[in-house]
Amino acid sequence: MSDAESVTRAVTLACRNGLHLTPITALVKKASGFSSDIRIRFNHKVANAKSAMDLMLLGATCGAVLHVEATGEDAADAIDAVDTVLSQE
């Protein structure tokens, strides 16, 4: 049996200009500090939270509801960290 934990949370994107280079850079840096697999879903697209290119292709705008899923030993902490980045203006 696996010790991997899976956590999902809906997060509203607060960045005024949507998901652009500055918040993406912060998000990738934060997400890369976790061993968990972190995925973000928006409009039927799925992005690896550790990939700037994936995140840019989401095209998420301010106020968008993103569905974040983390799977791994530190999934709960990873979700909290991603939520913090996405909730900043």
Enzyme catalytic residues:
20
The beta-carbon contacts of 43-50 under 8 Å, at least 24 apart in sequence, are 49/82
Structure tokens of 68? 């974040």
Helix (H, G, I), strand (E, B) or coil at 71: strand
Structure tokens of 48? 């690896």
